[in-house]
Amino acid sequence: EAGVTQSPTHLIKTRGQQATLRCSPISGHTSVYWYQQALGLGLQFLLWYDEGEERNRGNFPPRFSGRQFPNYSSELNVNALELEDSALYLCASSLGRVDGDTQYFGPGTRLTVL
């Protein structure tokens, strides 16, 4: 069974540009989560989508946004990129609507903002 996949693996942008990151969940999973892992800041929760709706949001500015498609894949968009947005962005998926269900992670997209 295929795991969570993310694309691209690496992304290099300049300050002020927009970045789009993509995630495909494990088959049968309806929930998708996004996390940012910046150097020295640990893993920070960004967004949670389930059944196409945004269910929860971390403490990030509105320029971080996303969506979930009918096939449960998801996009994370980061507008007006800043140098501090450079980080590993991890996507996870879970069965959804199940208390404490396990989140399985993808390999991540490493975003570098120059």
Partner 1 sequence: AQKVTQAQTEISVVEKEDVTLDCVYETRDTTYYLFWYKQPPSGELVFLIRRNSFDEQNEISGRYSWNFQKSTSSFNFTITASQVVDSAVYFCAMKGGSEKLVFGKGTKLTVNP
Q: Of the candidates 97, 95, 90, which has an alpha carbon nearest to the alpha carbon of residue 26? A: 95
- Nearest CB to partner 1, comparing residues 43 and 83: 43
Candidate ranges 20-28, 62-70, 76-84, 85-93; the one touching partner 1 (CB under 8 A): 85-93
Q: Which residues pair with 66 in a beta bridge?
A: 76
Alpha-carbon distance of 110 to 28, in angstroms, equals 26
Task: Yes or no: say if 64 and 76 are a contact pair by the CB < 8 Å rule.
Answer: yes
**x/- letters, 1..20, toward partner 1 (CB under 8 A):** --------------------
Query: Applying CB under 8 A, which residues contact partner 1?
Result: 33, 42-43, 45, 48, 55-56, 58, 88, 90, 92, 99-100, 102-108, 110
